[in-house]
A and B are shown apart, each in its own frame.
Chain A
Amino acid sequence: MKLDPSFIWTALVELLSAVPTTLNVTMVSILFGTLIGTIVALIRIYRVPVLNPIASAYVTVIRGTPMLTHLLLIYYGLPMLVNGLSDSFGWSFRAASIPMIGFAYLSFSITSGAYLSEVVRSGMLAVNRGQIEAAYAVGMTTPQALRRIVLPQAFAVSLPNLTNALIGALHGSTLVFSLTVVDINAKAQIVASTNWKFFDAYLAAAILYWGLTVLIEQLSGLLEKRINVYNRGGVA
C-alpha cells in the first residue's frame, strides 16, 4: 500500500465541510453539559433533599457506562417515550420528526454533564469558605455569592479540566456516525468509499482532529493566562 499525498489533501479539503457538524455536536454537548454539571454540582454541594441522591445516582450511572451505550439507549428509548406520551395526551408529535443530530445533542449533553459535574464541584470546593462568608457579611444572598464570588473562581481553577472535557467531547463526537450524522469521521468514510483509500482518508481526518485539538489547547492557554491574572502577582 502506498500513501497518496494528493488524495490526502483532497480528502482534507472535503472533510472541511463536515467540521461545522463536529463542532456543533461538541459545543452543544459541552455547553449543556456544563449547565447540567453546574446544577448537579450545586445539588450535591448543598445536599438538596430528594434531588441529592438522584444527582449522585446520575453521576455514577453515567460515568459507569460507555458513551456509545448512552447514545443507543437514547436513540431507541426516546422514541418509545415520546410516542407513548404523545399517545396518552393526544398530541400529534411523533418521534420520527426528531432530527438525528438531536439524539446526539441530548445524549452527549447527558454524558458530559456527569463528568462536568465533578469538574465544577471540585472547582467550587476550591473556593475557601471564608470568601463565601465575606460575601454573606457584605449582604449578598446565596445566588449572588455563587454568581459573583464562587463560580468565577471555580471556573478559573477548572479551566484545565474543562479543556480536557472539551477535547474529550470533540473526540467522542465521532460516535454520531452510528446515527448516520455526517461529522468529520463519517465524511472520511464517505470520501474513501469512492476509491477505497480508507487509510489516507482517515489519516486526513486524524490530521484535522489533531489540528482542532491544538487550536482548543491554544485558546484555552490564552484564556487561562487572562483569567488567572489574579493568582500570579506582579501585574499591578
Chain B
Amino acid sequence: MIKLQNITKSFGRLQVLKGIDLVVEKGEVVAILGPSGSGKTTLLRCINYLEKPSDGEITIDDFTVNCKRPSKKDIHTLRGKTAMVFQQYNLFRHKTALENVMEGLVVVQKVEKEEARRRSIELLEKVGLGNKLNAYPSQLSGGQQQRVGIARALALNPEVILFDEPTSALDPELVGEVLAVIRNIAKEGITMIIVTHEMGFAHDVANHVVFMDEGIIVEEGKPNDIFVSPKEERTKQFLKRITPEGVYSI
C-alpha cells in the first residue's frame, strides 16, 4: 500500500502541489489525469524523491518518510521500493537493451550476473524485444526504447511503478505497442501509478482514476465515477475538452 499525506511542493514562490492525500492499494492501477501544468509530473517525482517535497509524508508498505527531514538512507530505501518509466525513456545510451535492464539488478540489488542476465532476457522477451537484446538505444525506435524502459522498471521488482506520460513522446503509430505492454503487466497485479492523456487506455486499464488541477486532487474514484459521472465542474470541463463527443457515454 502507498499512502501520500499532505504532500506539498513549491518551486521558489510557485506552489505546485498544495497538499496531496492519496492512498493506493496493493495491485491497484491508478491513472492520474489533469491539464498540463497541474502538477502530475511533480507529484510522481516526489514519490521517488527525484523532486524533494516541501512537506508531507510518504508511506510505502510499512516504510514512512517524513519529507521535512528525510535522511539519505530514507531516500535510498524509498527509491529501492519504486521504479519509474520516463516520458523521454531515459535509457542509458552507452548500454545495450540487455545491459539497461541488468544494470539495476547487478549494481543496486547485487544479483549475480548470470542470474541477472537470465531474468533480464526473460523480461525483454515479455515486452517483445527478445530479438533486440544487444541493440543500443540509438538503434531502437521510440516505442522499442520505451519497452526497454518498462523492462528496466519491472526488473527491479518494485512495490510500485511510476509512469510519467509513457507514450506522449511517441509517434502515434508507436503508441499502441507500448500501451499493450502496460496493459499486459497491469493484469499481473503490479501496483502502478500512470500519468496519461490516453483516456481510453485509462478507462480500460485503471481501477482508480485521479483528476488533478492546480496542485490539488479535484476528484478521484472508479473509472466510471470519473469518466461517466464526474461530480466536479472542473473534471467535466477537462473531459469535455480532451475526449471526443460521446465516447464515454454508456
Q: Which residue of B lies closest to A152 (CB)?
A: B94
Question: B94 touches which one: A138, A156, A233, A236 (CB < 8 A)?
Answer: A156
**Interface of chain A: mostly helix, strand, loop or mixed:** helix
Question: B80 touches which one: A134, A139, A229 (CB < 8 A)?
Answer: A139
Partner-contacting stretch, out of B5-13, B16-24, B101-109, B240-248: B101-109
Once bound together, how far apart are the Cα atoms of A136 and B79, in whole Å?
7
**Interface of chain B: mostly helix, strand, loop or mixed:** loop
Partner-contacting stretch, out of A90-98, A140-148, A177-185, A207-215: A140-148
A196 at the interface (CB under 8 A from B): no
Contact B108–A138 (Cβ < 8 Å): yes
Which B residues lie within 8 Å of A139 (CB)? 76, 79-80, 104, 108-109, 156
Q: Chain A residues in contact with chain B, CB under 8 A?
A: 128, 130-131, 133-141, 144, 148-149, 152-153, 156, 229-236
Map CB proximity to A onto B95-129 as digits: 1 under 8 Å, 0 otherwise.
11000000110011100000000000000000000
Contact B50–A229 (Cβ < 8 Å): no
Which B residues lie within 8 Å of A156 (CB)? 94
**Lowest 5 A-B CB distances belong to which pairs?**
A138-B104, A236-B135, A130-B90, A134-B90, A139-B108
A-B contact pairs, 19 of them (CB 8 A): A133-B86, A136-B48, A137-B50, A137-B83, A138-B79, A138-B103, A138-B107, A138-B152, A139-B76, A139-B79, A139-B104, A139-B108, A148-B107, A230-B93, A230-B137, A233-B139, A236-B96, A236-B134, A236-B139
Q: Which residue of B lies closest to A138 (CB)?
A: B104
Which B residues lie within 8 Å of A140 (CB)? 104, 107-108
B63 at the interface (CB under 8 A from A): no
